[in-house]
Amino acid sequence: MTMKQPPIHRRRLLLGLAALPLAAAPAARAAIGGLPSNTGHTDTSPEWEQLRGKIFGTRPISATSGRVQMIAPLRAAYGASVPVKIVSQLPQTPELYVKRMYVLVDKNPSPLAATLELTPEIGQADFETRLRVDEYSHVRVVSELSNGELHMDSRYVKTSGGCSAPPNRDSPELIGRTVFKLPEPPKMNAPTTADITVIHPNDTGFELNNVTVMFIPSYFVRTIAVSYAGRKIFDADLDFSISENPTWRFNFVPHAPGELRAEVEDSKERHYTGRLAVG
Amino acid sequence: MTRMHSRLLRSARVAAIAGFIALFAAAANALGLPPAYAPMVVEPAIVAGRSEFDLGPALARAKREKKRLYVYLGASDCPYCRRYENFLGKNSEELVPHFRPWIVVDLRSTLSTTADKLAIRVGDSVLNYTEFQRSIGDQRARMLVYPSVWLFDTQLKPLMQMPAGNGTFETVDEQLEILNLVQ
């Protein structure tokens, strides 16, 4: 299988997003006590309005269809590692399936945390991962179906300091180690759950080294391409808004014994591979 | 009055004013949770170089009074702790009634008391910070952050996963979210 190249257009998009003139955004409302008033889980935000236009243009996005659900705690134990779960209320069939998913954290310095390209081979488009959430923010998922429809769900998460929490650098020699796990035995011809973890600091570039008092350069996993028995399951285009040691729980449908394989590339264009024999 | 007496008097006045200012400043930044919350203050016993906090008496009282436990771990040299304590102090009139179903416990620590130097005792069981967090299924096992709050029932079962640090509940509404176990 070929490795998906780091999409230049995405990087340009991110740079563009980082330079968004927030002054042009709708004014943020403040509640008594200084907290924003758009803290409802399904509320919009000035950042989201800008992102929406940049990524989706004027395409309609349904936020009430219930086709996709974002599950996240109101307050996570650590802002650097907020567990999120995405649940799709739609089986992946060749006729109609979730083709792409966008995971966003409105207020992060780089708000587009992940773009997932999916195939019907995934069986059920449910995912779990951990996000860095820098400050009080909505986290969103937008599902793009194969018929072009866009569906969204969001949760408001209260946290702070996620992007500056110290990453674990105990074992730099393990960086890039890519491990699959099956929480349960595989089920042939049915969605089977798997976890993939890449050992990686996923440095944001916003953290100070306490010894050198210099910012640690950003260094993160940029892409993960997962296949089973040579057939694409999903490609993930990622960012440092994913927590250190990026982990994804996903599904795939094994039709016969085969190999789960992941091709990983980080922002220093280093390549790593993970494999697991299944069945 | 001689010039010297006058100077001494002026110095005494300045010293008195400075003393009052210092006193008020100290009161504003008083250590620990405000008295209005009637906290059970728990000072650590130093055992084998570790600070050991005994939750036994608070738990016994919670069972006796059928109340929940609001356990606060603060450090004497932690500005974020002072900020939270001052927030509680400033809003005590509004918040204290909502704390009535709770027994507030104030564990007094220092920033130098890191995870490996902090232990929790309940009866005969003494666990270090990480072991204790794992034993109750708390996700904050990985890193000790000051200040920290735990919410327990009378069986020392956590009522809700709490965040590391208190920065997300330093408004009255958000403190009430915590007390009402809004997740």
Please tell me what DSSP assigns to residue A147: T
Whole-number pLDDT of residue B11: 54
d(CA B10, CA B117): 49
Among the listed residues A117, A264, A270, the one whose alpha carbon sits nearest the alpha carbon of residue A178: A264
Whole-number pLDDT of residue A190: 94
Sign (positive or negative) of CA dihedral A248, A63, A124, A120: negative
Q: Is the pLDDT of residue B36 over 70?
A: yes
Which residues in chain A have Cβ-Cβ distances shorter than 8 Å to B175?
Answer: none
pLDDT digits (tens, 9 = 90+) for B100-141: 999 999 999 999 999 999 999 999 999 999 999 999 999 999
Taking each helix axis from N to C end, the angle separating A8-18 and A46-56, rounded to the nearest 10 degrees, works out to: 150
Per-residue burial over A172-203, b if 16 or more Cβ lie within 10 Å, else e, is eeebbebebeeeeebeeeebbbbebbbbbbbb
| Nearest beta carbon to residue B183 from set A73, A79, A159 | A73
Please give the C-alpha separations between residue A167 and each of A174, A204, A248, B160, in angstroms, as whole numbers.
Answer: 14, 10, 18, 26
* Residue labelled with tokens 């019907």: A120
Q: Is the pLDDT of residue A28 over 80?
A: no
pLDDT band of residue B13 (cuts 50, 70, 90) is low
Which residues in chain A have Cβ-Cβ distances shorter than 8 Å to B142?
Answer: 78
Which residues in chain B have Cβ-Cβ distances shorter than 8 Å to A82?
Answer: none
Whole-number pLDDT of residue A37: 63
Q: Provide the total of helices (H) and of strands (E) in chain A, helices listed first.
A: 2, 14
pLDDT digits (tens, 9 = 90+) for A128-137: 999 999 889 9
Bigger pLDDT: A38 vs A68: A68
Which residues in chain B have Cβ-Cβ distances shorter than 8 Å to A160?
Answer: 165, 167-168
Interfacial A residues in 170-209 facing B (CB < 8 Å)? none
Alpha carbon A233 to its chain centroid, in Å, reads 16
d(CA B22, CA B83): 18
- Mean pLDDT (whole number) for B68-95: 95
Q: Is the pLDDT of residue A9 over 50?
A: no
Whole-number pLDDT of residue A18: 41
Whole-number pLDDT of residue A236: 98
pLDDT digits (tens, 9 = 90+) for A70-89: 999 999 998 889 999 999 99
Residue of B nearest to A35 (CA): B171
Q: Tell which of A39, A75, A82, A164 to mutate to test the B interface (max B CBs under 10 Å).
A: A75
Whole-number pLDDT of residue B116: 92
Whole-number pLDDT of residue B113: 93
Bigger pLDDT: B12 vs A77: A77
Element (DSSP H or E) covering residue B72: strand B68-75
- Mean pLDDT (whole number) for B53-81: 96
- Mean pLDDT (whole number) for B16-25: 46
Contact A251, A126 (CB under 8 A): yes
Per-residue burial over B38-62, b if 16 or more Cβ lie within 10 Å, else e, is ebbebebeeeeebbbbbbbebbeeb
Please give the C-alpha separations between residue A157 and each of A48, A72, A139, B163, in angstroms, as whole numbers.
Answer: 15, 7, 7, 11
| Nearest beta carbon to residue A78 from set B164, B174, B177 | B164
Instruction: Tell me if chain B has a CB within 8 Å of the CB of A84.
Output: no
Whole-number pLDDT of residue B3: 53
> Do B164 and A73 make contact, defined as CB atoms within 8 angstroms?
no
Bigger pLDDT: A38 vs B17: A38
- State the ipTM, two decimals: 0.74
- Percent share of chain A, pLDDT over 70: 82
pLDDT band of residue A113 (cuts 50, 70, 90) is very high
How is residue A193 written in tokens?
A: 């759950």
pTM for this entry: 0.80
Whole-number pLDDT of residue B27: 42
Sign (positive or negative) of CA dihedral A277, A244, B143, A39: negative
| Nearest beta carbon to residue B163 from set A33, A35, A159 | A159
Q: Is the pLDDT of residue A25 over 90?
A: no
Among the listed residues A126, A105, A127, A101, the one whose alpha carbon sits nearest the alpha carbon of residue A115: A101
> Do B161 and A158 make contact, defined as CB atoms within 8 angstroms?
no
pLDDT digits (tens, 9 = 90+) for A153-185: 999 999 864 333 455 566 788 999 999 999 999
Whole-number pLDDT of residue A205: 86
Amino acid identity, position B145: V
- Strand positions, DSSP E, chain A: 68-71, 82-88, 98-105, 112-118, 127-131, 137-145, 150-157, 178-181, 192-198, 221-228, 231-238, 247-252, 258-266, 271-278
- Mean pLDDT (whole number) for A47-70: 94
DSSP code per residue over A180-237: EE-SS---TTS-EEEEEEE----B-S--B-TTT-SBPPPB-EEEEEEEETTEEEEEEE
Q: Is the pLDDT of residue B151 over 60?
A: yes
Collapsing DSSP to helix, strand or coil, A23 comes out as: helix
Among the listed residues A153, A99, A149, the one whose alpha carbon sits nearest the alpha carbon of residue A121: A99
Query: In degrees to the nearest 10, what's the CA dihedral of B27, B31, B36, B40?
Result: -150
Contact A226, A262 (CB under 8 A): yes
- Mean pLDDT (whole number) for B51-63: 97
Whole-number pLDDT of residue A43: 83
Whole-number pLDDT of residue A278: 95
pLDDT band of residue B97 (cuts 50, 70, 90) is very high
Whole-number pLDDT of residue A253: 95
- Mean pLDDT (whole number) for B147-173: 94
pLDDT digits (tens, 9 = 90+) for A242-254: 999 999 999 999 9
- Percent share of chain A, pLDDT over 90: 68
- Mean pLDDT (whole number) for B64-77: 96
d(CA B144, CA A110): 28
> Do B173 and A159 make contact, defined as CB atoms within 8 angstroms?
no
Whole-number pLDDT of residue A206: 83
| Nearest beta carbon to residue B163 from set A33, A34, A76 | A76
Whole-number pLDDT of residue A59: 96
